[in-house]
Structure 1
Amino acid sequence: MAMCPGDTTEWDDIHRKLGNFAPRAEEVPQRELEKMVVETVEKFDALDHCKLAELDCLEDDVEEDVLAKYRRKRLAELRAASQAAKFGEVRQVTRCNFVAEVTEASGDGQWVLVLLYVDAVHACHHLGGPWAQAARRFPAVKFLKGVASEVVPRFPDSSTPAVFIYRDAECKKQLLGLGEWGGPDCSADCVEWVLAGLGVVRTELEEDPRRRAGAGRSRPTWRRGGRDQSSSG
């Protein structure tokens, strides 16, 4: 005889008591499910998801004091976003101002990204352009670059381009080489994807652009807390 969903046999029940079978998952009653859906819908505030221009179009349909409250909230959000977007370009860094521009500037949760490069290394030029585009794309993130030897004496040319990612006054990640960024075909989308994977930015990209760029043939060394970790694609 066919069993209804959720039914168990006496054999199952015995073994559950003995601990041989996993406990039955508690099923949520249909009424509880319906209640959860209703409560979720009732709590959804459509006005809270409207843009400023959309709020202006609702003047005839919504009470003025209610609209005023949402306008104030949206304007405050726009001001906060504007204040956060205070960079938007790649700035130069040297050993003399590294502590102030990087370590100290990354306090209080500010992301600071440093690209060390060598003019004679072609791989550095492949990342330089996309790095500048990403800086304009994410003005709330501080993008820096510096000649490797002027920031870290005797820094090996073979390890460039090298990216150091700072937050809360400490280095969170080091990415050495071009491989992680998509190789010679690196693009601003590749930079965005990598940074999104590290939690630095948010992205609306749905697939890894490095696949199109032919990434994965060679991967650089990732360093976390001073230890080298080889990643393989």
Structure 2
Amino acid sequence: MNPDEDTEWNDILRKHGILPQQVKVTQNDIYDSAVAQAQEEESRRLERLDIDELAELEDEEDDRVLEQYRQQRVAEMQAQAAREKYGELVQISEPAYKSQVTECSKQTWVVVHLFRESIPECKLMNRHLAELAQQYRATKFVKIVSVECIHNYPDKNLPTLLIYGHGDMKGQLVRLDRYGGMRTRRRDIEQYLLDIGAIDKAMRRPLAGDGDSSDGDSDDGRATYVDLGKRVE
């Protein structure tokens, strides 16, 4: 009988103190042991070096740290560039809605503007969204003619924003009554999107001559929310 074997009989003997408890080595134990051994070997190596060799090693270590930092910054810049791949307000059509909005929102936030060219508030919203798209390039901004997205959608509800994230609608803003209609400023829409989480303040890029030409004060009314019915899937 091998007392080290992991058998039912040996477990009974260990339970009654006849055999000593089995010591199980985990992956963490192996890792910690390897780290400790490596540190011990490094300490012994350093003890054998003279003053000049230690000074040379210090210069090498400084270069190594700088190179690690450079590689880390390059990786961070590449990751940011991969996220900031949009930057425009793009018009889409009904057949592309599922791929451009619903599916795309599983990877990134998508802001959808339901509009009609004949409505002044829609033109204002398009202008604000086009500028926000340049500032927040990690978020996708699209626009679609309202009746293409939702058939017979009433003009009285325009402009309408649909905010998608994680594959589902996270918010909707109907009309600009909350902000005073044509007095709505870009920063009003920006704050609305920030509150929902559709844009990240840390990713904000400045615009050339950044400023908001619409200086009207927003009123204290609340945004109008409605049931949009069946959405395009």
- 4+ long deviations beyond 6 Å: none
Q: When the two structures are aligned, how many residues end up with a matched partner?
A: 161
What SS does the corresponding residue of 2:194 show, helix, strand or coil? helix
CA contact (8 A) 1:183 1:213 kept: no
User: C-alpha distance in 1, partners of 2:222/2:116?
Assistant: 20
What residue in structure 1 maps to residue 217 of structure 2? 214
Structure 1 position 77 matched with structure 2 position 76 = yes
Residues 76 and 223 from structure 1, CA distance in 2 versus in 1: closer, same or farther, beyond 3 angstroms?
farther
Paired residue for 1:16? none
Query: What's the counterpart of residue 116 of structure 2?
Result: 118
Amino acid at match of 2:185: S
Letter in 1 for 2:217: G
- Structure 1 equivalent of residue 65 of structure 2: 66
The structure carrying a bigger helix percent of its residues is 2
For 1:137, which of 125, 135, 139 is the aligned residue? 135
Q: What pairs with 1:187-198 in structure 2 (closer than 5 Å)?
A: 187-198=185-196
For 2:104, give the aligned amino acid: A
Deviation at 1:117, TM superposition (A): 0.5
CA shift in 2, pair 1:73/1:181, >3 Å: farther
Give the TM-score taking structure 1 as reference length. 0.62
RMSD over equivalenced CA pairs, Å: 2.7
| Residue 212 of structure 1, CA deviation | 5.5
Unaligned runs of 5+ in 1: 1-59, 227-233
When residues 223 and 64 of structure 1 are mapped into structure 2, their CA distance, relative to the original with a 3 A threshold, is farther
TM normalised by structure 2 equals 0.62
Question: Which among 134, 148, 151 is matched to residue 150 of structure 1?
Answer: 148
- Greater Rg over alpha carbons, structure: 2
Q: Relative contact order (C-alpha < 8 Å, sep 6+): which is higher?
A: 2
* Sequence identity percentage: 29
Q: Which amino acid aligns with 2:160?
A: A
Checking the alignment, whether the CA contact within 8 Å between 1:127 and 1:178 is kept in structure 2 is no
